């Protein structure tokens, strides 16, 4: 190989060019939204979305985080972020606890109804919440759970993805561990708490990351569940901002942009910080 | 299908504990899954007046109305086209990026976070971003698409233009998840297979088509199902944020219609019947998926 061909082969300029275009395609929209959130609305209306960050970033984010707006002018973005954290963490923890317990029962016990219950749990994988959204709303309303964290979180846990995730993992746990635990006189409780939970730690963490993101990103369900500003999550709060933008004479685009960035930061942060664990969990959960 | 019979050989037996452990899951499923699903089924046979005062059992009338409604047929058709386009674009772009990253000699680790972070973007936020970028008032893409024309791109009025906005927002958000799975699939191909193929066939493109792609087929098929289900169900957030007051006529999906008819139109029976039809579609999709999973288990 001559020198140029070798250099070409080593440095792969075309491949890098394609990948850099891909990276920019994903990142540029978010970057421009962020950069533009630092301009006053009048400037944005005249000059459009900007590439270089404006000098009012701090003012915009400060005002979004602390001024009361929303449907009834009663909610700050800080409160929306808090609601989103409650939804994301509550959903992830609830799902992990409920599904680990169910998977434990299914994998480690022989009991008469096992098969029936297994199929019942399995059937939830077939139907996402979106297809039964209106009757679900009715049920939650009948139970008096509209505008509550319980109503926001628990119906989302009804799908059994987590149960299958742990079932898969428990089945890969060597049988010798249970035999050894039994010889040591460990009962079902002790085995679960002292042995199974500790060896599932990385799996729990991986599922937590995915479920946090899934919970945080919910839109349709919070949209139906919350008629009261106190429970508005940030992803849903965007909708009220959009309506304000459409109705006002000088739309406050900078505030809309800032809200979008705030809604993005926590889930993206979690995914990037725990990247390895998140990818492992994702690949594992969909087997 | 997963087999309940494939349990541990060593098990605990005769204890109330398994019932206690499945109880929370079963309760949640009973109240928030079974009950609403059956309720959808029941309501689909009733005609309720908009004020909820009377409720009449009408057999299959709601279904007949839906199937005879040209509006529903066209929404059905556009949902299918939309799903196919979103699926192929997002898998195609992700495939290109994953193949390039997999083939890099250096820096492949640096590209990964840069191409996977968008997994965490909510569909609703993707819709919001698309809306801003295509906005007639401030959007650079709006200006760019209309440059040198007398305004042929009008996403607020023209359904085709609206679809362009909805598709690009939906695809953009979905590339990362496909990239993660395809890259993992590529890396699971044994290096020895690729080296042997290199000896047989020096042409990179042909080698990709005859060796890499077939070995990647299980991953791609799995992603096909995942992406179709994403395009059908999760893009509600995209539509509702791009168009908070509703998209131009002709640019809605089935799930959006269930929501609009049920909540805005208060047509509970019709909306429930639409839900039941959606359930049947998902059921079919999932059956295909599990059939394929079973196959994969056979071959490995």
How far apart are the C-alpha atoms of B75 and B10, rounded to whole Å? 53
- Asked whether residue A191 carries a pLDDT value surpassing 80, the answer given is yes
Considering the four listed CATH numbers 3.30.70.20, 3.90.1150.10, 1.10.3720.10, 3.30.1490.20, the one that applies to the domain covering A77-285 is 1.10.3720.10
Tell whether A223 is within 8 A of chain B (Cβ): yes
- Asked whether residue A249 carries a pLDDT value surpassing 80, the answer given is no
Helix (H, G, I), strand (E, B) or coil at A63: helix
Give the Cβ contact number of residue A120 at 10 Å: 18
What does the mean pLDDT of chain B come to?
Answer: 84
Tell whether A19 is within 8 A of chain B (Cβ): yes
Q: Report the residue of A81, A133, A144, A263 to disrupt the B interface, i.e. the one with the largest count of B CBs within 10 Å.
A: A133
Q: What is the pLDDT of residues B237-280, one digit of tens each?
A: 999 989 888 898 888 999 898 888 887 777 778 888 888 888 88
Q: Residue A214, Cα to own-chain centre: how many angstroms? A: 3
Helix (H, G, I), strand (E, B) or coil at B47: strand
Residue written as token pair 């590209």: B111
Q: What is the pLDDT of residue B300?
A: 33
Closest approach of A217 to chain B, Cα-based (Å): 5
Per the CB < 8 A criterion, the answer to whether B260 and B252 are in contact is: yes
pTM: 0.89
How far apart are the C-alpha atoms of B251 and B170, rounded to whole Å? 14
Closest approach of B188 to chain A, Cα-based (Å): 12
Q: Report the residue of A217, A237, A275 to disrupt the B interface, i.e. the one with the largest count of B CBs within 10 Å.
A: A217
Tell whether A175 is within 8 A of chain B (Cβ): yes
Q: How many helices (H) and strands (E) does chain B have?
A: 14, 3
β-partners of residue B13 are: A110
Q: What is the pLDDT of residue B50?
A: 59
Q: What is the pLDDT of residues A71-115, one digit of tens each?
A: 445 678 888 999 999 999 999 999 999 999 999 988 888 878 878
- pLDDT band for A70, please (50, 70, 90 cuts): low
Handedness of CA B39, B45, B49, B55 (dihedral sign): negative
User: Which has the closest alpha carbon to B123: B241, B25, B5?
Assistant: B241
CB nearest B29 (choices: A124, A143, A224) = A124
Q: What is the pLDDT of residue A230?
A: 84
Q: What is the pLDDT of residue B165?
A: 94
- Asked whether residue B10 carries a pLDDT value surpassing 90, the answer given is no
- pLDDT band for B81, please (50, 70, 90 cuts): very high
Exposure string for A20-56, b = 16+ CB within 10 A, e = fewer: eebbeebeebbebbbbbbbbbbebbeeebbbeeebeb
- pLDDT band for A188, please (50, 70, 90 cuts): confident
How far apart are the C-alpha atoms of B300 and B289, rounded to whole Å? 17
- Asked whether residue A66 carries a pLDDT value surpassing 70, the answer given is yes
Determine phi and psi for B46, rounding to 5 degrees. Answer: -115, 150
The two tokens of residue A254 are: 């900078």
Q: Report the residue of A21, A24, A26, A209 to disrupt the B interface, i.e. the one with the largest count of B CBs within 10 Å.
A: A26
**pLDDT higher for A63 or B53?**
A63
Handedness of CA A14, A19, A20, A24 (dihedral sign): positive
Nearest CA in chain A to B137: A45
- pLDDT band for B8, please (50, 70, 90 cuts): low
- Asked whether residue A52 carries a pLDDT value surpassing 50, the answer given is yes
Average pLDDT over every residue of B196-203 = 78
Tell whether A188 is within 8 A of chain B (Cβ): yes
CB nearest B129 (choices: A29, A111, A158) = A29
Q: What is the pLDDT of residue B93?
A: 96
Per the CB < 8 A criterion, the answer to whether A170 and A135 are in contact is: no
Average pLDDT over every residue of A209-234 = 89
Q: What is the pLDDT of residue B245?
A: 83
Q: Which residues of B touch A128 (CB under 8 A)?
A: 229, 233, 282
CB pairs < 8 Å spanning A and B: 310
- Asked whether residue B2 carries a pLDDT value surpassing 50, the answer given is no
| CB-based contact A134 B271, cutoff 8 Å | yes
Residue written as token pair 């890396």: B187
The domains of chain B, with CATH numbers, are 17-57 (no CATH), 71-299 (1.10.3720.10)
Average pLDDT over every residue of B183-191 = 89
User: Which has the closest alpha carbon to B13: A200, A108, A155, A241?
Assistant: A108
Closest approach of B37 to chain A, Cα-based (Å): 6
| CB-based contact B124 A286, cutoff 8 Å | no
User: Which has the closest alpha carbon to B49: B273, B269, B242, B212?
Assistant: B269
β-partners of residue B12 are: A109
- pLDDT band for A33, please (50, 70, 90 cuts): very high
Find the farthest-apart pair of alpha carbons in chain A and give their distance in angstroms, rounded: 77
Q: Is B246 left (phi over 0), alpha (psi -120 to 50) or beta?
A: left
Q: Which residues of A touch B188 (CB under 8 A)?
A: none
Q: What is the pLDDT of residue A27?
A: 94
Give the Cβ contact number of residue A179 at 10 Å: 12
Tell whether A153 is within 8 A of chain B (Cβ): no
Average pLDDT over every residue of B154-174 = 92
How far apart are the C-alpha atoms of A62 and A41, rounded to whole Å? 16
Question: Residues 33 to 72 of A: which have CB under 8 A from any B CB?
Answer: 33, 36, 44-45, 48-49
Handedness of CA A214, A220, A224, A227 (dihedral sign): positive
- pLDDT band for A12, please (50, 70, 90 cuts): confident
CB nearest A101 (choices: B10, B24, B43) = B24
CB nearest B33 (choices: A113, A158, A178) = A158
| CB-based contact A45 B137, cutoff 8 Å | yes
Tell whether B137 is within 8 A of chain A (Cβ): yes
How far apart are the C-alpha atoms of A253 and A255, rounded to whole Å? 5
How far apart are the C-alpha atoms of A215 and A237, rounded to whole Å? 15
Q: What is the pLDDT of residues B34-54, one digit of tens each?
A: 898 888 888 888 877 656 666
**pLDDT higher for B176 or A122?**
B176
Q: What is the pLDDT of residues A155-182, one digit of tens each?
A: 998 888 888 889 888 888 888 888 888 8
CB nearest A107 (choices: B7, B112, B244) = B7
Q: Tell me what ipTM this predicted complex has.
A: 0.88
Per the CB < 8 A criterion, the answer to whether A15 and B103 are in contact is: yes
Tell whether B52 is within 8 A of chain A (Cβ): no
Q: Which residues of A touch B172 (CB under 8 A)?
A: 25-26, 29
Tell whether A254 is within 8 A of chain B (Cβ): no
**pLDDT higher for A5 or A205?**
A205
Q: What is the pLDDT of residue A71?
A: 47
- pLDDT band for B297, please (50, 70, 90 cuts): very low
The two tokens of residue A21 are: 């275009």
- Asked whether residue B103 carries a pLDDT value surpassing 60, the answer given is yes
Q: What is the pLDDT of residue A120?
A: 83
Closest approach of B80 to chain A, Cα-based (Å): 16
Which is it for strands B46-48 and B55-57: parallel, antiparallel or unpaired? antiparallel
| CB-based contact A115 B4, cutoff 8 Å | yes
**Domain ranges, ordered by start, for chain A:** 3-56, 77-285
- From residue B228, alpha-carbon distances to A166, B30, B123, B171 in Å are 25, 27, 15, 12
- Asked whether residue B168 carries a pLDDT value surpassing 80, the answer given is yes
- pLDDT band for B121, please (50, 70, 90 cuts): very high
- From residue B148, alpha-carbon distances to A45, A274, B15, B37 in Å are 21, 46, 77, 52
How far apart are the C-alpha atoms of B94 and B88, rounded to whole Å? 10
């Amino acid at each position: 190989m001559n020198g140029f061909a070798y250099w070409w082969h080593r440095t792969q300029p075309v491949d890098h060019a394609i990948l850099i275009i891909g990276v920019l395609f994903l990142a540029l929209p978010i970057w421009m939204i962020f950069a533009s959130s630092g301009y006053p609305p009048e400037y944005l209306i005249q000059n459009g979305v900007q590439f270089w960050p404006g000098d009012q970033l701090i003012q915009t984010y400060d005002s979004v985080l602390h001024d009361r707006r929303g449907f009834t002018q009663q909610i700050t973005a800080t409160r929306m972020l808090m609601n989103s954290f409650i939804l994301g963490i509550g959903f992830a923890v609830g799902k992990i606890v409920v599904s680990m317990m169910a998977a434990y029962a299914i994998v480690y016990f022989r009991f008469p109804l096992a098969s029936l219950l297994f199929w019942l749990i399995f059937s939830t994988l077939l139907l996402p919440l979106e297809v039964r959204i209106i009757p679900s709303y009715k049920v939650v309303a009948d139970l008096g759970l509209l505008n509550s964290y319980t109503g926001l979180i628990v119906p989302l846990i009804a799908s059994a993805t987590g149960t299958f995730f742990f079932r898969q993992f428990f089945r890969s746990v060597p049988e010798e561990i249970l035999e050894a635990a039994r010889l040591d006189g460990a009962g079902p409780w002790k085995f679960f708490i002292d042995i199974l939970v500790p060896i599932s730690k990385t799996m729990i963490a991986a599922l937590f990351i995915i479920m946090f993101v899934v919970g945080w990103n919910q839109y349709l369900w919070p949209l139906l569940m919350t008629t009261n500003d106190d429970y508005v999550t940030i992803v849903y709060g965007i909708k009220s901002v959009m309506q304000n933008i459409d109705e006002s004479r000088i739309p406050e685009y900078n505030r809309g942009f800032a809200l979008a960035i705030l809604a993005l930061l926590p889930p993206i942060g979690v995914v990037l910080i725990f990247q390895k664990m998140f990818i492992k969990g994702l690949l594992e959960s969909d087997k | 299908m997963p087999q309940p019979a494939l349990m541990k050989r060593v098990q605990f037996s005769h204890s109330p504990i398994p019932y206690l452990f499945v109880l929370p899951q079963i309760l949640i499923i009973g109240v928030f899954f079974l009950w609403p699903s059956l309720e959808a089924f029941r309501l689909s046979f009733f005609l309720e007046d908009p004020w909820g005062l009377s409720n009449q059992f009408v057999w299959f009338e709601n279904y007949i109305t839906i199937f005879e409604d040209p509006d529903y047929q066209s929404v059905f058709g556009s949902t299918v086209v939309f799903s196919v386009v979103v699926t192929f674009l997002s898998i195609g772009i992700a495939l290109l990026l994953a193949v390039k990253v997999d083939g890099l000699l250096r820096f492949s680790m640096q590209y990964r976070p840069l191409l996977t972070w968008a997994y965490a973007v909510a569909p609703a936020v993707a819709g919001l971003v698309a809306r801003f970028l295509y906005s007639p008032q401030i959007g650079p893409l709006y200006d760019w698409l209309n440059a040198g024309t007398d305004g042929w791109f009008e996403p607020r009025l023209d359904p085709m233009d609206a679809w362009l906005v909805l598709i690009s927002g939906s695809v953009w958000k979905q590339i990362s998840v496909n990239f993660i799975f395809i890259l993992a699939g590529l890396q699971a191909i044994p290096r020895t297979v690729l080296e042997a193929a290199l000896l047989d066939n020096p042409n990179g493109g042909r080698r990709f088509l005859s060796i890499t792609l077939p070995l990647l087929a299980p991953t791609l098929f799995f992603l096909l199902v995942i992406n179709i289900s994403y395009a059908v169900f999760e893009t509600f957030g995209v539509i509702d944020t791009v168009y908070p007051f509703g998209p131009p006529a002709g640019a809605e999906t089935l799930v959006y219609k269930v929501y609009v008819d049920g909540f805005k139109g208060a047509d509970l029976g019709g909306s429930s019947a639409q839900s039941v039809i959606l359930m049947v579609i998902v059921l079919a999709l999932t059956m295909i998926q599990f059939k394929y999973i079973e196959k994969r288990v056979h071959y490995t």
